[in-house]
Amino acid sequence: MNENIFAHEKHGELIRELLSAYQRQELSAGQILKILRKDILEMSQVEYAALTGISRRTLSDLEQDLSSPTFLVFNAAFQPFGLQAGLIPIVKD
């Protein structure tokens, strides 16, 4: 996959909405990953794991928020969407 999914305006809007929900603590990173995998790429866990180079079990654990992945694994999981782990400001109500 050579091009960044974020480059597609339709997908970029969805990604921005999901990231806003994450900052408001309405969605977890795992929930976002599952939405992106299923709704944008329409891939099974097996297909997506092969694309990203992580195991299907690791992907499943990430999507269910059952693990604390390393930055390397986290970044690999979100790389197809042009996303990576980083510091974000705290949103105050």
Q: Provide the mean pLDDT of the chain.
A: 87
Condensed to tens digits (0 to 9), the pLDDT of residues 16-59 reads 999 999 989 999 999 999 999 999 999 999 999 999 999 999 99
* Residue 62 three-state SS: helix
The fraction of the chain above a pLDDT of 90, given in percent, is 63
Cα angle 3, 63, 39; round to 5 = 50
DSSP class of 87: -
Q: Which residue has the higher pLDDT, 90 or 69?
A: 69
Burial of 63 (0-12, 13-18, 19+ CB in 10 A): buried
